Amino acid sequence: MSMKNLLRNTWFQVILAGAVIGAALIVLDNKFHFWNEKDSEGEYQGPIEADKDKMYITTASYSETSWDFGKIKETDTVIHKFIIKNTGKAPLLIYKAIGSCECVRVFCSKEPIAPGGTQEITVVFLGKGRKGKQQRTAMIDTNTEPAEMVLSITGEVE
């Protein structure tokens, strides 16, 4: 069967059109993110635009780096807000904020923090399925030196 005859077959035209459309969607997805879930706070969403010739390094302080939630029931969920303050002269960028396991969720804004400004980092611990003493962490990656801060939560699930 020659190529000319093959192109006349409807089934081949459908397959060829599907391949072309599929390839176009894959290429365009890099820009428009057709299949990504809705952005959720605290999760890294890609590079932040910045001047390639500048290195933005600043300093930050935290209201605290550990918190003990005490004793809770297995059905409880506890929430604690850590405060991060930009103590430097450049904008503070939070690149990534993640929990150490599926029982820890971290939420924070993706907006840069101006020098002298503060922002809340909300850490949520889900007690369901966790019994006994608990020690979990939230890792916060920023444009500071060192770049990673570990926030710790501890307690006991009854």
pLDDT in tens, 54-99: 677 899 999 999 999 999 999 999 999 999 999 998 889 999 999 9
In a domain, 94, yes or no: yes
Contact at 8 Å (CB) between 96 and 44? yes
Supply the range of the domain harboring residue 151.
60-157
In a domain, 42, yes or no: no
Q: Are residues 131 and 93 in the same domain?
A: yes
Q: What is the pTM of this model?
A: 0.65
| Regions of the chain with pLDDT less than 70 | 1-4, 6-7, 30-54
Q: Is residue 155 within a helix (H) or strand (E), and if so which, with residue range? A: strand 148-157
Contact at 8 Å (CB) between 152 and 121? no
Which of helix, strand or coil describes residue 118? strand
Q: Are residues 132 and 74 in the same domain?
A: yes
